Amino acid sequence: MSYEASAHEAQMKILRHLLLSPSAGFAELQKKTGLTSDHANFHIKKLVEVGYMQKDGSDKYTLTRIGKEYANRMDTDDNVIEKQPKISVALIVENDEGKFLAQQRLKQPYYGFWGRPTGKIRWGETMEEAAARELMEETGLTAELSVAGFYHKMDYDRESGDLLEDKIFVLIYGKNHQGELIVDDEGHHNEWLSDDEMATKDKVFQSVPEITELARVGNANFMEHKYEYDNDEY
What CATH code is assigned to 5-81?
Answer: 1.10.10.10
Q: Which pairing describes strands 100-105 and 114-115: parallel, antiparallel, or unpaired?
A: antiparallel
Q: How high is the mean pLDDT of the chain?
A: 93
Domain ranges of the chain: 5-81, 86-229
- Is pLDDT above 50 for 108? yes
pLDDT digit string, tens, across residues 7-18: 689 999 999 999
Residue 77, amino acid = D
pLDDT digit string, tens, across residues 188-220: 999 999 999 999 999 999 999 999 999 998 877
pLDDT digit string, tens, across residues 34-52: 999 999 999 999 999 999 9
Q: At what angle do helices 9-19 and 37-49 cross, to 10 degrees?
A: 70
Which of 78, 57, 87 shows the shortest CA–CA distance to 150? 87
Phi, psi (deg, nearest 5) at residue 5: -70, -15
pTM for this structure?
A: 0.76
E strand map for the chain: 53-55, 61-63, 74-75, 80-81, 86-93, 100-105, 114-115, 118-120, 142-157, 163-178, 184-185, 188-193, 221-229
CATH superfamily, domain 86-229, is: Nucleoside Triphosphate Pyrophosphohydrolase (3.90.79.10)
Q: How far is Cα 108 from Cα 202, in angstroms, rounded to an integer?
A: 17
pLDDT band at 222 (very low <50, low <70, confident <90, very high): confident
